Structure 1
Amino acid sequence: MAAKPASRFQFGAVSAVFSAFLIDGAGFGAWAALLPVFKSQLSISDGQLSVALFSMVIGSVAAMPIAGRFIAHLGSRRVIIAAAVAYSILLPLVAFAASPASTLAIFAIGALITGAAKGSLDVSVNAQAIAIENHEGRPIVARCHGGWSMGALTGSLFVAGGLKLSLGAPLIMTLLGLLLLGLAAFSGRRLTEHDRPDEHAHHRHSLWPRGRLAPLAALAFIALFCEGSMADWSAVFLADVVGAEPASAALGFATYATAMTASRFCGDQLSHRLGPVVLMRFSGAVAALGLALSLASQTYWLGLLGFAMAGFGLANIIPALFRAAARHGHAGPAIASVSTVGYVGLLIGPPIIGALSRTLGLPLSLGLLVLFSGVLGASANLAKPRGTH
């Protein structure tokens, strides 16, 4: 099918959903970069920090099916607007909840509520991106995930800059939240209504992945488990294991996010040239080698190099899996089922690593990501287009 000619509408819609992904990533990047600060201010251990991370998981997982129902009845545009505004407001509040005068319980409650906003935003932005891609006949999913990565990079660098200026975490998050509110206002006016409400959709499609979608959902879980764990624990690894200062440790995630962003913006071209199977095998191998380098060296500069390799390798696995899912049935419900399982991995990965670190130590616990990256590369045939052998 020939691609539709470029139009002002297309550019507006793509820029809007790209901005929504950027909002999602910026909040997550800022959260990840500030975790060592939150941990220090509350004087808690890795295991105690995992309580707050688990709270975010619970909030997100509880909100995802609710958001899905709202998308079915209202469309993704309205859900994105509501979730983006809530997310932007809650980011400063969770920073206040981690102040030295606060407690772990208050911090966990703040993470729970913030996680609910994030889970709703995760589901709705992917639904919007798939709707635009299907309507316009042009691939945009990898580009949109590049927007998430750019947002994560921006959020982490924003935090690093704020810490360099000796600003407190609440002030950093308040300034970021105001910026994201402005971006949400820009995005909301340009989002589309292509995924029009279908009051009978929930009778025709299951949100749980079945048949050939099940292994794709499992791989999405593993891939996003790695992404979430890198986001939340890369800065902590550099600060606690390598001994880097907080501002320098925050650059660990920034390096990872920079490589991921660059890789995703050329992801469509790489997939076209190499094919999804070869690209996924190569990506899994690069990620595994990079993570192994960081964990084995336990030095700052080799750690940064390894994180960059991990970001480059992991970047295009999720877009490949989402496209593969869309080929196995109705695109919208298929993507929704695979992405929901995948985002559980994104959210549950960090607290599992934290819990394991209590007995195994953080470096050995992060070794699980090396294994998972190898599994992703070895399972690349599942991303093969239908009808090929």
Structure 2
Amino acid sequence: MDQTLTRSQLVRWRTAIFTIFFVVGLGFASWASRLPAVKQALDTDDFGIGILLLVMGAASIVGLSLANLIVARWGARRGMVATISCFSAGLILVGLAVQVAQSFELAAAALVLVGLGMSATDVMMNVEAAAVEQSFGRTLMPLFHAFFSFGTVAGAGAGIAMAAWQVGVQWHLGLAGILALVAGIVALGFVPQRDEVLDGDAPTPTRRERFAELAAVWKTPRTYAIGVIMLGMAFAEGSANDWLTIAMVDGHGETEAFGAVALTVFSVAMTVFRVIGGPLVDRFGRVWTLRILAVTAGVGLVVFILAPSLPIALVGVALWGAGASLGFPLGMSAAADDPKRAAASVSAAATIGYLAFLCGPPVLGWISHQIGILPTLWIIVALIAMSGFASGAAKPLATSTVGGGHRTPVSGDRTGDRDEVPARD
């Protein structure tokens, strides 16, 4: 049965997806912030921790591929109930495996659940976020990703506090898992059912046809071009997260404290531009915003590499962070322009982008071992340029209501002028 969504229902839908982005970020950062305690409890070394991270990363790639199949089988809303439950259960089990069982093998198995649940949820929450911004008629995807960043900050802050208070990993990750589960399930109660993501009781033949459509996106050149945008910017973001502090110390001869300062500057610049990015896209359009920010990121990274002093290096870091901020969210938004193929397209594009996060750090590490960290960063400059040249692929489809640019903010936007939007009960 068809129904309409009022403005208040749309706002609750938006808030629900904000919440899911936040708790996924919080859960991930809660795990990452306790890696030193995990290393000690499991009596392992850096190689062992690397194996755990590799297991989780590989499971994440599998989860991206499974997400569109989950949507085709159960719909996005019911699918997210399952994937958030998987993610939360994985966090709880990791804590028990590390602190109670003290078993490396059990911890690795639990991280498979974390990786599968997190990445599959990532696809579906981006599909829902794209639908929300289409309903509001303005770009919101960068703000959704800012909420993920807020969640990581909250999770890292909680990790610092838990470590300082000597709270066991099992209690910390257990609480994070329970919070993610409860908040996620409650939030999903405000997500409407929609035919585009098969939340309704569609007949079996339609679902079979849907599986064929999901495979078809890999034959679309636009999918790969969007993946290139996300690949370049994922390298730009991931290289900073993994190598910026080392580049400050080994490349520029600064202290570890200044390395941490540089990473903070990068993170703040990225988060700020994700908060303000939506209006920029609505004014200049998705394509020109990506091109301008690719230039910004490239120039910032060049300034950082060649910087003769610390202040100039930090200016370069700020430009680097601002420029890298919107590539991934706007790639997600572009992939979801067609609501009927959103889950498959987001899954495919995200797979390409996530490969950069998974494979980038070890590849850059190997190269930097050969030629040094600062010369290695020139590779990222080239990848950023590649992303900028591919930005034309993010041009909105004819059916899209966002990303075209030249939208002047007024007191009554689409949701103010039209209080109801079709949905599916």
Q: TM-score range by the shorter chain?
A: 0.7 to 0.9
Is structure 2 residue 325 aligned with structure 1 residue 315?
A: yes
Residue in 1 that maps onto 2:222: 212
Residue 69 to residue 386, structure 1, CA distance change in 2 (3 Å): closer
User: How many angstroms apart in 1 are the aligned matches of 2:48 and 2:368?
Assistant: 11
Letter aligned with residue 77 of structure 2: R
Return 305-314 or 59-68, whichever deviates more.
305-314
1:89, CA displacement in angstroms? 3.4
1:22, 1:149 within 8 Å by CA — same for their partners in 2? yes
Provide the TM-score with structure 2 as the length reference: 0.73
Residue in 1 that maps onto 2:412: none
User: How many angstroms apart in 1 are the aligned matches of 2:140 and 2:312?
Assistant: 33
What SS is found at the alignment partner of 1:90?
helix
1:16, CA displacement in angstroms? 0.7
Residue in 1 that maps onto 2:281: 271
Provide the TM-score with structure 1 as the length reference: 0.79
Write out per-residue CA displacement over residues 185-240 of structure 1, whole angstroms, 9 at most, x where no aligned residue.
Answer: 33122122122245121223424252233221222233234434444555777799
The answer for unaligned runs of 5 or more in structure 2 is: 200-205, 399-403, 405-425
User: How many angstroms apart in 1 are the aligned matches of 2:184 and 2:8?
Assistant: 20
Letter aligned with residue 73 of structure 1: R
2:64, 2:351 within 8 Å by CA — same for their partners in 1? yes
Is structure 2 residue 305 aligned with structure 1 residue 287?
A: no
1:33, 1:250 within 8 Å by CA — same for their partners in 2? no
1:161, CA displacement in angstroms? 3.7
User: How many angstroms apart in 2 are the aligned matches of 1:237 and 1:97?
Assistant: 35
1:128, 1:192 within 8 Å by CA — same for their partners in 2? no
User: How many angstroms apart in 1 are the aligned matches of 2:320 and 2:233?
Assistant: 11
Give the percent of matched residue pairs that are identical in Structure 1 and Structure 2: 24
1:328, CA displacement in angstroms? 7.4
Residue in 2 that maps onto 1:347: 358
1:172, CA displacement in angstroms? 3.7
1:280, CA displacement in angstroms? 1.5
Letter aligned with residue 376 of structure 1: S
Letter aligned with residue 291 of structure 2: R
Letter aligned with residue 45 of structure 2: I
- Determine which structure has more spread, i.e. the larger CA radius of gyration: 2
Write out per-residue CA displacement over residues 159-202 of structure 1, whole angstroms, 9 at most, x where no aligned residue.
Answer: 23434545455544334333323322331221221222451212
Letter aligned with residue 296 of structure 2: V
What SS is found at the alignment partner of 1:191?
coil
Aligned residues between the structures: 382
Q: CA RMSD in A?
A: 4.0
What SS is found at the alignment partner of 2:221?
coil
User: How many angstroms apart in 2 are the aligned matches of 1:95 and 1:317?
Assistant: 34
Residue in 2 that maps onto 1:44: 45
Residue in 1 that maps onto 2:94: 94
Write out per-residue CA displacement over residues 244-290 of structure 1, whole angstroms, 9 at most, x where no aligned residue.
Answer: 37xx9777655544332221121121112233333212322333344
User: How many angstroms apart in 1 are the aligned matches of 2:8 and 2:175?
Assistant: 32
What SS is found at the alignment partner of 1:208?
helix
Is structure 2 residue 137 aligned with structure 1 residue 115?
A: no
**Selected match of 1:224 from 228, 234, 238:** 234
Residue in 2 that maps onto 1:381: 392
1:92, 1:173 within 8 Å by CA — same for their partners in 2? yes
What SS is found at the alignment partner of 2:256?
coil
The answer for unaligned runs of 5 or more in structure 1 is: none
List aligned pairs for 1:1-389, cutoff 5 A: 7-35=7-35, 38=38, 44-45=45-46, 49-94=49-94, 107-167=107-167, 169-194=169-194, 195-197=197-199, 198-199=206-207, 200-205=209-214, 206-208=216-218, 210-232=220-242, 244=256, 255-291=265-301, 307-326=317-336, 332=342, 333-354=344-365, 356=367, 368-385=379-396
